[in-house]
Amino acid sequence: MRCTPLIIVAIALSARFTLAQTVTDPNLKVQTWATGLTHPTGMTFLPDGRALILEKETGQVKILSGKSLVGTALDLPVATQSEEGLLGIALSPTFAQDHFVYLYYTASTKDGGAPLGNAVKRYTLNGSTLTLNKKIIDLPATPGPNHNAGRIAFGPDGKLYIAAGELNRNELTTNHSNHIINPVASILRLNPSGSPVTTNPFYSTKNTGANKALNDIFAYGIRNTFGFDFDPISQTLWETENGPTSFDEINRITPGFNGGWEQILGPTSRNHDDPSTLVSLGPRAHYSDPKFSWVAPVAPTDAFFMPTTRLGAQYHDDLFVATYKGGNILDFNLSPSRKTLDLTGALADDVADNTSSQLLKEQSSLVFGQGFNAITDLEPGPGGMYVLSYNNGIIYRITTTSTNATPQLAIASTLIPEPQLIGLICIAAPIASSRRRRRV
């Protein structure tokens, strides 16, 4: 077929730019909200509408006001190898009164220096400056340098939850029977001051010496997680977990949960391992299969429950999961019991049989957004959902469109340059979205 002048123009543009950042709902659109960040890992909105954003390697906490970066609230010296750096942020549940901000980072004497340890510390926000208030907990950072995890959040119970990665260690919390116990490969649960929570599943006044680490452990057997959030209806914790070469996971975390690492990856129906062989930290320890798994790694990052109807009632209280590979956003409905995901068809077995070349295979009904290039955080904020892109250094906002768009995909207002020219084509087939019928 001969190319018309209009098609030739379109081809020329496509050779210079990639049409990116798409959402499948025609009633939603993507906006480029703020640019100029360096490898951002997390963000949170303040009650006054400003936001604090973390940069992994610079150790800086940036301040966003509207669409502009207006300053730096704090500059920490951080180790930066692999997954080390400034990794997690959470606001105090009583921020309006105390102005406390909690940070998780890999401490060092200088940016790029040797790790001194991972730390969670509490800071006070005075205007546009963060000042140290209190050390909450010191955590290991070696041997690493990967699997530092770093997500922190306050639960509905007012307790601080901390994701501590396994750091390539072989210990009790990674289901190795060697009697070595450290707060790694775990989700920790602390009081806001850092003191132990006496209702934790393995707490005991008899835990002394190295065993005191047991008092802070809420769940274990978790390789590495970059995201967790609490179901606003059941108040149960859900998290994403990165596997090694297969079986990334989504898990529902209850007190004493043992995720199975390092012995069990994915559901037992696929690996045929015996959960009874796992290390038990106490009577409340229990194994549960993941609620969802991917055969080929997608590197899931944030897990996020949409707390409002700002994007539409059909998304309220849905579980959104972001991926590092491909920069995709998946939208999961939960079952009426809120204990499982509402999955049908090829996903009825709770496993996506995808491949490295087809990361979204079997997941067309789940795809909400694509092309965000390595997402590290999803956050609710003024006007919709905010998406933090690690590689692009951009904050995107997904919001409602003022008109009923006819295209199947809503496209961001900016175009991202490609480093190399792509091949020329004359015919492009429209992309159809296979969305499941959603509840309202």
pLDDT digits (tens, 9 = 90+) for 225-255: 999 999 999 999 999 999 999 999 999 999 9
Q: Which residues contact 208 (CB under 8 A, 6 or more apart)?
A: none
Are 7 and 371 in contact, with CB atoms under 8 Å apart?
no
pLDDT exceeds cutoff 60 at 429 = no
Q: Cα–Cα distance between 103 and 37 in angstroms, integer?
A: 18
pLDDT exceeds cutoff 70 at 421 = no
**Mean pLDDT to the nearest integer, 104-130:** 98
**Mean pLDDT to the nearest integer, 273-285:** 96
Are 278 and 286 in contact, with CB atoms under 8 Å apart?
no
pLDDT of residue 272: 83
pLDDT of residue 271: 87
Convert the pLDDT of each residue in 146-205 to its tens digit. 999 999 999 999 999 999 999 999 999 999 999 999 999 999 999 999 999 999 999 999
pLDDT of residue 440: 34
Reported confidence tier of residue 13, pLDDT bands at 50, 70, 90: very low
Convert the pLDDT of each residue in 298-316 to its tens digit. 999 999 999 999 999 999 9
pLDDT of residue 20: 83
Higher pLDDT, 421 or 405: 405
Q: Cα–Cα distance between 215 and 204 in angstroms, integer?
A: 7
pLDDT exceeds cutoff 90 at 2 = no
For the chain, percent of residues with pLDDT exceeding 90: 86
**Mean pLDDT to the nearest integer, 127-149:** 97
Query: Which pair of tokens denotes residue 163?
Result: 């994701």
pLDDT of residue 16: 37
pLDDT of residue 33: 98
Q: Cα–Cα distance between 327 and 324 in angstroms, integer?
A: 5
Average of per-residue pLDDT values in the chain:
89
Convert the pLDDT of each residue in 47-101 to its tens digit. 999 999 999 999 999 999 999 999 999 999 999 999 999 999 999 999 999 999 9
Which range, of 160-174, 372-386, 394-408, averages the lowest pLDDT?
Answer: 394-408
**Mean pLDDT to the nearest integer, 257-272:** 94
pLDDT of residue 286: 98
pLDDT exceeds cutoff 90 at 5 = no
pLDDT of residue 419: 29
**Mean pLDDT to the nearest integer, 100-112:** 98
Reported confidence tier of residue 422, pLDDT bands at 50, 70, 90: very low
0.85 exceeded by the pTM? yes
Reported confidence tier of residue 124, pLDDT bands at 50, 70, 90: very high
Question: For residue 306, how far is the Cα from the chain centroid?
Answer: 14
* ω into 55 cis (within 30 of 0): no
Q: Cα–Cα distance between 255 and 237 in angstroms, integer?
A: 10
